[in-house]
């Protein structure tokens, strides 16, 4: 049934509202990666005060060139982990637009829910971002202790956190906080599995730029399907 929710969401990717959110998400993700990359290069400059060259741009001293290419490789690696909190931020900011597009097409009989207060969205984004980043930092310890289990730990943990966040943000629009949490707990296994299925493509560069919107749409279908159960 989760794959059915996913296929319905995938079939709506041409919706203008989906494309708008994808565009804003790509800009947000790119801006974050550029900012972090600039910080990494700045640290390299502090470590080696000689002239430094960005990858593929002009001549450079050998050590600085190696460090520059190394920083690029590092950023590609970090992008796998950065896209998890970026996906959360994109969802928190633009989920209502995606969910409303899904409901307009598949659940037109439903009344339009009240627009959530922006203060609540910012608060939820910050709180979840802190939890998500903190959990992933602690997970690096587990990766070092159990290196062969690192992929399972990464996807299981982030799948749980993403599923919890996405489902709550979709459900709270119509259920309220208490009811949304209760519904998530009642279907925790299915919500966790959906989060894991979302975490996997989020670790694939370029593809991960489209996943926040696809995930928000999938969880909207998931919520309505579970809420309709007796």
- Compute CA distances 52 → 87, 105, 110, whole Å: 32, 53, 58
Q: What is the pLDDT of residues 154-211, one digit of tens each?
A: 889 889 988 998 899 899 989 888 999 999 999 999 999 999 998 888 878 777 778 8
- The domain total for the chain is 1
Q: Is the pLDDT of residue 49 over 50?
A: no
Give the Cβ contact number of residue 126 at 10 Å. Answer: 12
Domain that holds residue 59: 2-227
Q: Tell me if 202 sits within 8 A of 208, measured CB to CB.
A: yes
What does the DSSP assignment read for 3-15? HHHHHHHHTTTT-
pLDDT in tens, 119-161: 666 677 677 777 777 887 888 888 888 889 888 988 898 899 8
pLDDT digit string, tens, across residues 58-101:
444 444 554 555 556 666 666 666 666 666 666 667 888 899 99
């Amino acid at each position: 049934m989760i794959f059915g929710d996913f296929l319905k969401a995938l079939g709506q990717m041409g919706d203008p509202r989906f494309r708008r959110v994808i565009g804003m998400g790509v800009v947000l993700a790119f801006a974050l990666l550029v900012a972090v990359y600039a910080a990494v290069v700045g640290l390299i400059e502090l470590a080696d005060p000689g002239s430094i060259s960005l990858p593929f741009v002009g001549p450079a001293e050998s050590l600085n060139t190696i460090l520059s290419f190394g920083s690029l490789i590092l950023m590609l690696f970090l992008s796998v982990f950065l896209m998890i909190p970026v996906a959360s931020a994109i969802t928190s900011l633009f989920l209502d637009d995606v969910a409303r597009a899904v409901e307009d097409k598949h659940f037109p009989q439903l009344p339009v829910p009240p627009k959530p207060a922006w203060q609540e969205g910012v608060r939820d984004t910050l709180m979840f971002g802190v939890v998500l980043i903190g959990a992933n930092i602690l997970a690096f310890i587990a990766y070092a202790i159990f290196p062969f289990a690192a992929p399972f730990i990464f996807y299981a943990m982030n799948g749980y956190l993403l599923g919890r966040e996405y489902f709550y943000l979709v459900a709270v629009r119509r259920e309220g906080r208490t009811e949304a949490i209760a519904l998530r707990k009642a279907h925790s296994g299915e919500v966790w599995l959906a989060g894991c299925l979302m975490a996997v493509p989020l670790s694939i560069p370029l593809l991960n730029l489209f996943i926040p919107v696809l995930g928000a749409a999938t969880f909207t279908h998931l919520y309505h399907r579970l809420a309709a159960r007796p």
